[in-house]
Amino acid sequence: MVVQAVHNTAASALPFPLPMPDTDNAELAHSSHPVAKRRALRTIAVFEAIKGAAALAASLGLLSMVRHDLHQLAATLIGHLGLKPGDHYPSVILHYADVLADANLRSLVLLAAGYVFLRFCEAYGLWYQRIWGQWLGALSGALYVPFELRHLMHRPTVASAVVLAINVLVVGYLALQLWYERRGAAP
């Protein structure tokens, strides 16, 4: 009662009313969650859109190399960078240049187009907070976890650990949002 009286006398001097703290109102404590959820989903959406755009750019770059001798281009690039063709990474690049030259281009283009389409659909669904976008993001991200874990075990690097950690965080966040949605209680 004393707090109320002090509050009323102090508030009467102000041109606007001061809100009284309401400890029973749980809605006020969670009022920022929809905004935080939207920001998180939009951040993930931007990340997925960037991955889709990078895959699209790589695919277009690959298509522009179709009529060229990829092995010769890779060897020239390796020479310009001052690398030895017999070293591990330059030899991997040369190997994949030969594999790419022999690959069925139609299959690669279809696979790349499917990946780009998937990333852009996921980004759209997450940006507009669609449940199907969250499902698509959680499932497509979860598919990569075993491969990333295997890669980390066989060739441990900081980059592969960071990629795995980010993917697990994104999948975990999306799965948690889906769980909240299914329970009918927004976080």
Q: Which of 166, 140, 138 is nearest to 152 (CA)?
A: 166
Residue 122 has pLDDT above 80, yes or no: yes
* Position 101, amino acid: A
- Tens of pLDDT, residue by residue over 91-100, are 888 888 888 7
- Tens of pLDDT, residue by residue over 54-107, are 999 988 887 777 777 778 888 888 888 888 888 888 888 888 888 876 667 778
When mean pLDDT is compared across 44-53, 64-73, 111-120, 162-171, the lowest value belongs to 64-73
Q: Please list, residue by residue across 41-67, b when 16 or more beta carbons sit within 10 angstroms of its beta carbon and e when fewer do.
A: beebbebbbebbeebbeebeebeeeee
Q: Give domain limits for the chain.
A: 37-129, 131-187
